[in-house]
Amino acid sequence: MKIAVFVSGRGSNLSALLNYPDLINLIEIVAVVSDKIDCKAFEIAREFGINTFTMGEENGKISQNDITSILKKLEVDFVVLAGYLKLIPNELIEKFENKIVNIHPALLPSFGGKGMYGSYVHRAVFNSSAKVSGATVHMVDKTYDTGKIIAQKCVDISDVKNPEEIAERVLKIEHQLLPEVVKAFAENRVKIESERIIIIN
Ligand code: GAR
C-alpha cells in the first residue's frame, strides 16, 4: 500500500510508522506533505529518502490541485494525517473516499473540533478533570474530527499533575495505535458495515 503522510510539526507519528517492524513489508510512504515550508517531520522524511511537498495557495507552495495530481502520479492509495493541523481540501477527500485517516490525541467525540489540537487538547482534558484520555484514529471528512471512529485506545490519567503528563501518556499510545490501524488497512481488515467501522482480527 502506497501512503502519503500529512504533517505539520514534530513528526513523531511519522517516525512511528516508519519504524514499526510489521509495516516494513506492507507499506511504502512515498510522500510527506505539510502546510509548512519546513518542519521537523520533513527532516525525518529526508533521512528516509521520502519526497516532501508543501501545500498551500501562498507563493512558494504547491496548490491543492497540483498536490492531488502529484499523489495520483505517485500512485498513492492511502493518506494518513499525523499531526496535520489544516482542513483537507474537498477535492482530496472526494478522490480518497474512506482512505484518509487522522490521529487525534483524545477520545473523540469529546475534545475535538477546530482549534483542538496538540497541547490545547491536553489542557482541555486536564481542566475537565477527566480520569481517562487516549487516542482516536478516525476517517477524515469535510470538518474537523467528525469522521467515523476506526479505533481508540485509553490511558488512565487519574493521577496526572499537569497537561504535559497527559500529552506524554497519550503520545505513547498514539505510536502504537496509528501503526496498528495502518496495518489493518494494508491487510484489508477494515470493514465498513452499515453505520459502523470494524477491524477484523
Ligand atoms: C499528535 O499528538 C497528534 O495526535 C496531534 O498532533 C500531534 C502531532 O505530533 N494531532 C492533532 O492534535 C490533530 N487534531 P507528531 O508531529 O509528533 O506526530
**What atom in ligand 1 is closest to the CA of residue 105?**
4
Task: Go through the domains of the chain in sequence order and give each one's CATH number.
Answer: 2-199 (3.40.50.170)
pLDDT value at residue 36: 96
pTM (predicted TM-score)? 0.97
Question: What cell does 38 get?
Answer: 519546513
pLDDT by position in tens, the chain (length 201): 999 999 999 999 999 999 999 999 999 999 999 999 999 999 999 999 999 999 999 989 999 999 999 999 999 999 999 999 999 999 999 999 999 999 999 999 999 999 999 999 999 999 999 999 999 999 999 999 999 999 999 999 999 999 999 999 999 999 999 999 999 999 999 999 989 999 999
Question: What's the length of the chain?
Answer: 201
Ligand 1 contacts CB of residue 89 (under 6 A)? no
Q: Which residues contact 188 (CB under 8 A, 6 or more apart)?
A: none
pLDDT value at residue 45: 98
* 138: annotated active-site residue: no
Q: Which residues contact 113 (CB under 8 A, 6 or more apart)?
A: 144, 145
Crossing angle of helices 163-186 and 118-128, in 10° steps, is: 120
Ligand 1 contacts CB of residue 103 (under 6 A)? yes
